[in-house]
A and B are shown apart, each in its own frame.
Chain A
Amino acid sequence: MFAGIREMTVRMAELLLALTFAALSAYLMIKSAELPIGWIPDEGPGGGAWPFWLSAVMLGSCIWVLVNWVLRIGPVANNDGPLFEAGMFAPVFLVAAALTICIGLIEGIGVGGFGGIGFYGALPLFLAFYLKVMGNHSWMTTILTAVLVPVVTFLFFEIMLKITLPKGMTDPLFIPVYAFFYGL
């Protein structure tokens, strides 16, 4: 599958994205139609009208893009070059995947009763991965950043601004920390 994406042409990607968007538009139209989409006498448009007709316009513009694609109108539809230049796919994919895993680790994804390791558990892992693997920094820089950034985040957001971030199962570990800051 990865090879497929890596070697995909721009023209191919254009087709796939337009088809996906067309399907999305149709789906949104169906969902919007759960509320009245017509003109209610004395009242104006129904609750579903706004999203329904705008989704219809979306679908129309997707069809327009597809027509351009078939007729090879415009630079994108004529671009038979690769979507990702050689060696460009891997870094983008790695960052996107690392970010996805990081978000998944914060509160879990509702599978297997895993409650997540919280923001302060997932963040250092993400930072360490990024600095070491993507950036090729020294272990010193990596560890320093992976520790300092979450600590500063905690101090700035939680203590100063009182914005609490999700902690998942690491929650009990923070009780002594709060006790320290609030003198409990």
Chain B
Amino acid sequence: MLQRRGRTLGVSLGMVGATALVAGASSAALAEFKPQKPIEFVVMAGKGGGADKAARLMQSVIAKEKFAPVPVVPVNKPGGSGAEALVYLKGKKGDNHTIMFTLNSFYTTPLRQKGLGVDVTSFTPVMRMAEDTFCLWVNSDRKDINSVDDFVKAAKAKGKKWIMAGTGKASEDNLLTDFLNKAYGLEMKYVPYKGGGKVAKELAGNNADSTVNNPSEQLGFFEAGKTKPLACFTDERIGLFKDAPTFKEIGKDFVYYMQRTVVGAPGMSDDAKAYYKDLFTKVFNSPDWQTYRKKKALQGDALSGEDLMAYWKKERDVHESMLKKMGEIK
């Protein structure tokens, strides 16, 4: 009784109405599809987190520049590391008014929770808006640590007492911690917290020894001189932290990004697909989004359609092998 049911009848009636109206008002619009009601923008994370902030920025840009005639309404569905959001979107098959903003739990959650029956390739690719990066951070009070070598030495000396703070178990931060432990023969203890902002604060307050935060999460503390990046998991050095090498440069070929991607409900009509691609291209090119990307040291170009789908397939396989190595899945 408590379980949600798809609204097939309502949706199909809605589509009939939609097509009728569009046919009646076939203006010289870019795409044939035009939203008929508020667009639901599901966010795979809780209020106030990094993904939520970015989603609300996009919502604001769309509202300010009047890119869409109807409001875009963010709905947070953080449950079960995104499982709730994925199942919800799966149930919206054929819906042209539901889109979702995702992170890397888009790959890891269906892999870890096979029972959900979610196949991410069944979703409609809309647009990758950015890729967030990760760096290894320590508190600036640690005058003895200025490079990854210093870090390895200090962490080895403390063994299991070395605290690595991160967001959630089996999350991106956990994957990176496991990588560091394996690559350098460390035994750092991973302590999960709720949200990247909290993690950043634990480091700045000296309650953790190191973190693998996104630059955006540590930026405030970094600018105040409270924390410092040692190295980044990127292909090239990040402009903001010129002094921090990439792990590639220092001999550990490990590059890891977090996608910030807009996804559509499965089976979205082609017209709607084109409409959302156009909408988010406008958002991507807007000065506000570009400034945000620069400020937050975000990378990754806009990617859509088949290219985005190919990217998903590649990333899913990468995550599958990483989770297997961690022993999280078989």
Interface residues of A (CB under 8 A from B): 42, 107-110, 113, 115-116, 158, 162-164, 167-172, 174-175, 178-179, 182-184
Contacts and interface: CB of A to CB of B under 8 A. Distances in A.
B73 A175 contact: no
A110 B21 CA distance: 30
Contacts of A169: 7, 9-10, 13
Nearest to A108: B5
Contacts, number: 68
B34 to A, nearest CB: 7
A172 B9 contact: no
Interface of B: 1, 3-5, 7-11, 13-14, 16-18, 21, 25, 34, 36-38, 40, 69-71, 73, 160
Nearest to A183: B69
Given A115-B9, A172-B16, A182 B1 contact: no
A178 B70 contact: yes
Given A110-B1, A162-B38, A164-B40, A182 B13 contact: no
26 contacts: A107-B4, A108-B5, A109-B1, A110-B4, A115-B5, A116-B7, A162-B73, A163-B73, A164-B38, A167-B10, A170-B10, A171-B10, A171-B11, A171-B13, A172-B10, A172-B13, A172-B14, A175-B14, A175-B17, A175-B37, A178-B38, A178-B70, A179-B36, A184-B25, A184-B34, A184-B36
A162 B13 CA distance: 23
Contacts of B13: 169, 171-172
A-B pairs, 10 with minimum CB distance: A172-B17, A110-B5, A171-B10, A169-B10, A172-B13, A175-B36, A115-B9, A115-B7, A178-B37, A171-B14
B66 to A, nearest CB: 11
A184 B70 CA distance: 8
Contacts of A174: 37
Given A175-B14, A179-B21, A110 B7 contact: no
B18 A184 contact: no
Nearest to B21: A175
A69 B58 CA distance: 60
A164 B160 CA distance: 50
Given A110-B3, A113-B9, A175 B70 contact: no
A121 to B, nearest CB: 11
B38 A115 contact: no
Contact of B71 (A162, A170, A171): A162
Given A164-B40, A169-B9, A178-B37, 12 more contacts: A107-B4, A107-B7, A108-B5, A110-B4, A113-B9, A163-B73, A168-B10, A172-B17, A175-B37, A178-B36, A178-B38, A178-B70
A168 B16 CA distance: 15
Most buried by B among A107, A174, A184: A184
B273 to A, nearest CB: 20
A162 B8 CA distance: 24
B151 to A, nearest CB: 23
Contacts of A107: 4-5, 7
B8 A115 contact: yes
A169 B17 CA distance: 12
A66 B73 CA distance: 50
A172 B13 CA distance: 6
Contacts of B18: 175
Contacts of B1: 109-110
A100 to B, nearest CB: 10
A162 B56 CA distance: 14
Nearest to B7: A115
Given A175-B36, A179-B36, A183-B69, A168 B17 contact: no
Contacts of B71: 162, 182
Contacts of B160: 42
B73 A164 contact: yes
Contacts of B7: 107, 115-116, 168-169, 171
